[in-house]
Amino acid sequence: MTESNARPQRLASRGFIAPDVAGNGEKLRLMAVHAHPDDESSKGAATMARYVAEGHEVMVVTCTGGEAGSVLNPAMDRPEVVRNMTDVRREEMARAAKILGVHHRWLGFVDSGLPEGDPLPPLPDGCFALVPLEESVAPLVAEIRAFRPHVVVTYDENGGYPHPDHIRCHEVSVAAYEAAADPDRFPGAGQPWQPLKLYYSHGFSRAKMTAFHEALLAGGLESPYGEWLSKWDPDRADVMERVTTQVDCGDYFEVRDEALKAHATQIDPNSRWFAMPLDLQRKVWPTEEYELARSLVDSTLPEDDLFAGVRDKV
């Protein structure tokens, strides 16, 4: 049996549904809205790769060009890279989208940067976080109406972490989700379309980090997570308390990692991102986590599929 034939059978044996279950053969569509290039590869990439492999359509929308990002990989900290950061990050995004098999759109706003210092400096004029909400919602509404996603994924109200662009991405995504079906809103942005579900993605939780840490130590391996855990505020709630949906996507961790490495300015291949062997990851934590924030279909919580309820509705 070839791998291409074996994988669908293996997934089916674990409860996954074939892509033609929409009834009329229509592909299901997922849109993930992110703040910067590389966010799509570090947040939900294996889930997207799984749905692409199942035959569904996935689009990533990136709000900014990531122009203000620092070079985080020492091998890429070269003058010619720093001088051409905008073009380099666009090229990286194109490679990552190709690896994941997703469609991609830029919204075209300018990276706000992550302010540092005490007091924090003001954000630069014209950056994404300072653009009036109505102005930044309009192009995302147009993308939603053109692609017609059944499911939209973005960040929670904290942005996953408090970067001004991540918080703004949440605000823009929620507003666009709610406006896309209203014919009186943004009448020049295409025919109205109603997405059926809105999710917030959740990355590393304390529970996941602890599971990784303990598994590495039990296997006699060095763990990079002890330092993180030692600094974790014991009074801070774990995001797992908000998670409603865990998508089994361990078969696509290799794809996720290749997409991450495509963002060479941001991802050091020797960093803690890759400290956990993939086979051990699949054994300890083979899922990616989401919070169902809005739904116009019935599904039973907890879920194991972002299209739960949608498959019956479409």
Task: Determine the Cα–Cα distance for residues 303 and 300; give it in Å rounded to an integer.
Answer: 6
Task: Kindly report the backbone phi and psi dihedral angles of residue 200, in degrees, each rounded to the nearest multiple of 5, phi listed first.
Answer: -105, 130
Instruction: Select from 3.40.50.10320, 3.40.50.980, 3.30.390.30, 3.90.110.10 the CATH code of 18-313.
Output: 3.40.50.10320
How much is the pLDDT for 88? 96
Supply the pLDDT for residue 313: 80
Looking at residue 25, its pLDDT comes to 59
Q: What is the pLDDT of residue 116?
A: 87
Q: Which residues have a Cβ under 8 Å from the Cβ of 299 and sit 6 or more positions away?
A: 292, 308, 309
Kindly list the distances between the CA atom of residue 80 and the CA atoms of 77, 83, 266, 274, in Å, as whole numbers in the listed order. Answer: 9, 5, 16, 27
> What is the reported pLDDT for 14?
35
The three-state DSSP-derived secondary structure of the chain is CCHHHHHHHHHHHCCCCCHHHHCCCCCCEEEEEECCCCHHHHCCHHHHHHHHHCCCEEEEEEEECCCCCCCCCHHHCCHHHHHCHHHHHHHHHHHHHHHHCCEEEEEEEECCCCCCCCCCCCCCCCEHHHCCHHHHHHHHHHHHHHHCCCEEEECCCCCCCCCHHHHHHHHHHHHHHHHCCCCCCCCCCCCCCCCCEEEEEECCCHHHHHHHHHHHHHCCCCCCHHHHHHCCCCCCCCHHHCCCEEEECHHHHHHHHHHHHHCCCCCCCCCHHHCCCHHHHHHHCCEEEEEEEEECCCCCCCECCCCCCHHHHC
Q: Are 47 and 286 in contact (CB under 8 A)?
A: no
Q: What is the pLDDT of residues 127-184, one digit of tens each?
A: 999 999 999 999 999 999 999 999 999 999 999 888 999 999 999 999 999 999 999 9
Query: What parts of the chain have a pLDDT lower than 50?
Result: 1-23
- Indicate the Cα dihedral angle 309, 291, 180, 42, nearest 10°: -110
